[in-house]
Amino acid sequence: MTPRACANPRCGRPLPAHAPATQRHCSAACRQARHRERGRPTPNDRQRAALAQHFRATAELLAAAANNAATAGPEALSAHVPALAALLDTLTVTAVAHDREHGDSWPVIAARLHLEPETARRRHVNKRHRAADLPPQATGTATRT
């Protein structure tokens, strides 16, 4: 008789030999992980495309603002810093929200941002925007300085 496998698709380990017929997971941790995964919404292709477009547009605005700041001269360079920071913040919020929706943990995201996990969570937990939720002027006004 072939041993039954764990119902969590990310696990696949065989169930213990003494497992009752009703047991579907190899451990409580595996059962909880499967439960969390089942409840997590998966973004559709349209949402992914909108997010990618927003990310690209914000990155292009950031690059254009950086070029404008570089050509403005040394006396006007510091005037562009708030606009660049606002664009970079928008880009960071979008990236963190995307990563969280895809199941990345705070320690993983914090390592990418070179922050402590608690700091990353505190800074970004209330800033979960989707690309469609961000107003178009949030990135457009920052380059008009």
pLDDT, one tens digit per residue, over 67-76 is 877 787 766 7
**CA separation for the pair 52, 50 (Å, rounded):** 5
Buried b (16+ CB within 10 A) or exposed e, 18-48: eeeeeeebbeeebbeebeeeeeeeeeeeebe
Better-scored residue on pLDDT, 141 or 86: 86
What is the reported pLDDT for 39? 64
Ranking 38-47, 53-62, 64-73 by mean pLDDT, the lowest is 38-47
Better-scored residue on pLDDT, 6 or 9: 6
Q: Is 80 exceeded by the pLDDT of residue 5?
A: yes
- pTM of the full predicted structure? 0.50
Better-scored residue on pLDDT, 113 or 80: 113
Q: What is the mean pLDDT of residues 74-92?
A: 78
